[in-house]
Amino acid sequence: PYKRVSREFHPEDTLVKINEDVVFGANTPIIIAGPCAVESYEQLLHIAESVKASGAQMLRGGAYKPRTSPYSFQGLKEEGIRILAEVSREVGIPIVSEILSIADVEHFKNHIDMIQIGARNMQNFDLLERVADLGKPILLKRGMSATMEEFLLAAEYILNRGNPNLVLCERGIRTFETSTRNILDLNTLALIQKESHLPIIADPSHAAGRFDIVSPLAKAALAAGAHGLIIEVHNDPAKALSDGKQSLNLKTFDDFMRHKTPAL
């Protein structure tokens, strides 16, 4: 059903290059870390310096937040993008941030190194095409109820538009189990590496919904061949404006980075 994303049509692994040092799909897993949402310049600067010192190669931070409730913090929006760009320059770390709407393409174009399309927008085909047209690296997250085929067909929209700079992200799917937020689908993480030449990373934070199992899920994903991880990290998770419960603090993230390679 999919062609351009398929290994059948493109047997070699695709490498997605952010800069000389950050390449998805090569031998080194790329670790992206940072807060769910950008809350202030000081907050992001503090987190960026810390996660970089711990070994993260990229910084995450949402400026536009897709929240379940309209009464929850919606992000700093344009101001958040400005803060991300400033911190990125200051600390020397590339950034990934989620776009929610075609209307915001211009803000992302000049300031964001890698544009995230979130689970809720995986099948927003207009958005996929407009973002693909920028030619920049894209991080496409799997929809929370999307099959592997639907996920790869969404990816096909982007490649079909002439942009091969795509990294996939398994971020947990909905099942009957309610004890965690989602289930990290390691089956699909492993199978996609057979089906597709695109790099795939894992998001153990949104899969778990709680910080205390993020580290084992992250290690499991690396053991299953993930080309990287995206992990939510906050300087004070109890006070975070979004997803504090699943955020590692700076010290826990640092501990994870020292011990992330499982002894197999």
Q: Which chain residues interact with ligand PEP by CB under 6 A?
A: 36, 62, 66, 98, 118-120, 141, 171, 203, 206
Q: Is 153 among the residues that bind Mn ion (CB under 5 A)? A: no
Closer of 206 and 219 to ligand PEP (Cβ): 206
Q: What is the largest CA-CA distance in the chain?
A: 48
Closer of 5 and 202 to Mn ion (Cβ): 202
Supply the minimum distance, in Å, between the C-beta of residue 77 and ligand PEP. Answer: 15
How far, in Å, CA of 158 to CA of 242, rounded?
29
Look at phi and psi of residue 95 and say left if phi exceeds 0, alpha if psi is from -120 to 50, else beta. beta
CB 112 within 8 A of CB 137: no
When binding is defined by CB under 5 A, the residue of 33, 36, 117, 155 that contacts Mn ion is: 36
How far, in Å, CA of 96 to CA of 34, rounded?
10
Between the CA atoms of 48, 49, 50 and 52, what dihedral angle is there, to the nearest 10 degrees? 80
The dihedrals phi and psi of 192, each to the nearest 5 degrees, come to -60, -30
Closer of 4 and 166 to ligand PEP (Cβ): 166
Supply the minimum distance, in Å, between the C-beta of residue 225 and ligand PEP. Answer: 20
Closer of 66 and 244 to ligand PEP (Cβ): 66
Indicate which of ligand PEP, Mn ion, none lies near residue 55 (CB less than 5 to 8 Å, by partner kind).
none
Supply the minimum distance, in Å, between the C-beta of residue 238 and Mn ion. Answer: 16
Supply the minimum distance, in Å, between the C-beta of residue 82 and ligand PEP. Answer: 19
Question: Which residues face 232 on adjacent strands?
Answer: 34
Q: Is 38 among the residues that bind Mn ion (CB under 5 A)? A: no
Q: Is 243 among the residues that bind Mn ion (CB under 5 A)? A: yes
Supply the minimum distance, in Å, between the C-beta of residue 11 and ligand PEP. Answer: 29
Closer of 113 and 243 to Mn ion (Cβ): 243
Closer of 117 and 224 to ligand PEP (Cβ): 117
3-state class of 96 per DSSP? Answer: strand
Give the Cβ contact number of residue 41 at 10 Å. 17
Indicate which of ligand PEP, Mn ion, none lies near residue 118 (CB less than 5 to 8 Å, by partner kind).
ligand PEP
**Tokens (6 digits) for 222:** 């690396």
How far, in Å, CA of 53 to CA of 57, rounded?
10
Q: Tell me how long the chain is.
A: 264
How far, in Å, CA of 172 to CA of 170, rounded?
6
Supply the minimum distance, in Å, between the C-beta of residue 212 and Mn ion. Answer: 17
Closer of 6 and 116 to ligand PEP (Cβ): 116
| Interaction site with Mn ion (CB under 5 A) | 36, 243
